[in-house]
A and B are shown apart, each in its own frame.
Chain A
Amino acid sequence: QVQLVESGGGLVKPGGSLRLSCAASGFTFSDYYMTWIRQAPGKGLEWVSYISSSGSTIYYSDSVKGRFTISRDNAKNSLYLQMNSLRAEDTAVYYCARDRRDGYNRLDYWGQGTLVTVSS
């Protein structure tokens, strides 16, 4: 069965960096786009970034552009999010999701999330 497991969250000071990972299993990872979504405490969902199956196409939300970098290692079935220059407003649960695009785009499987807290 499809499984996505995020890791790497934690407490970091403003201006600091953190690298999130998402380990995928149960499907052919290299066939799928992947997406990061975040949810601030008590708030709604916010799309962060996606990466194409080969890694050649990447997009970011305006709120993280220039600070966050999405990447993937298809040999390791892993997705990453390098987060630099972190701000208090980046505090959120970060989810990775499989981004299925077969003419009907949707996020069909989600991980359980990892909490990132940016505070001094």
Chain B
Amino acid sequence: EIVLTQSPGTLSLSPGERATLSCRASQSVSSSYLAWYQQKPGQAPRLLIYASSNRATGIPDRFSGSGSGTDFTLTISRLEPEDFAVYYCQQYGSSPPMCTFGQGTKLEIK
């Protein structure tokens, strides 16, 4: 089973700053099957990025994803107040064909 490790656990930044969130896999992951989600308190998660770098419908272009193999990154170019939330990466494995989530990165206002 592939394990996803996100870092840092908590990231403290100010609005207007750039955020870089990391997701590292225990073995190689297909870029087609790596996604990022945002979750705000009391809400369901929302899809941000799929296939490592494709923005989901309605997601602002300040959100971008990159990476391949075992290292993936979510970047928020200029933080808006509504971006402070918890972010999860997720992958679909092929053998076994199961899904796993990273433990999450909390992005908080400094």
User: Which residues of A come within 8 Å of B, CB atoms?
Assistant: 35, 37, 44-47, 50, 59, 61, 95, 103-113
Residues of chain A with a CB closer than 8 A to B101's CB? 37, 44-47
Cβ contact within 8 Å between B32 and A110: no
Residues of chain B with a CB closer than 8 A to A59's CB? 96-98
A113–B88 Cα distance when bound, in Å, is 17
User: Does B47 touch A at the CB level, under 8 Å?
Assistant: yes
Majority-rule SS of A interface residues: strand
Closest Cβ neighbor of B39 among chain A residues: A45
Besides A47-B99, A59-B98, A106-B47, 19 other A-B contacts (C-beta < 8 A): A37-B45, A44-B101, A44-B104, A45-B39, A45-B45, A45-B104, A47-B100, A59-B96, A59-B97, A95-B45, A104-B32, A104-B33, A106-B35, A107-B37, A107-B47, A109-B47, A110-B45, A111-B44, A113-B44
User: Which residues of B come within 8 Å of A, CB atoms?
Assistant: 32-33, 35, 37, 39, 44-47, 50-51, 54, 56, 88, 90, 92, 96-104
Report the minimal beta-carbon distance from A54 to chain B, rounded to whole angstroms.
16
A47–B92 Cα distance when bound, in Å, is 10
Cβ contact within 8 Å between A107 and B35: yes
Closest Cβ neighbor of B30 among chain A residues: A105
21 A-B residue pairs with Cβ-Cβ distance under 8 Å, sorted by A, are: A44-B88, A44-B102, A45-B90, A46-B101, A47-B90, A47-B99, A47-B100, A47-B101, A59-B96, A95-B45, A104-B32, A105-B32, A105-B35, A106-B35, A106-B50, A107-B37, A107-B45, A107-B90, A108-B47, A110-B44, A113-B44
A113–B41 Cα distance when bound, in Å, is 13
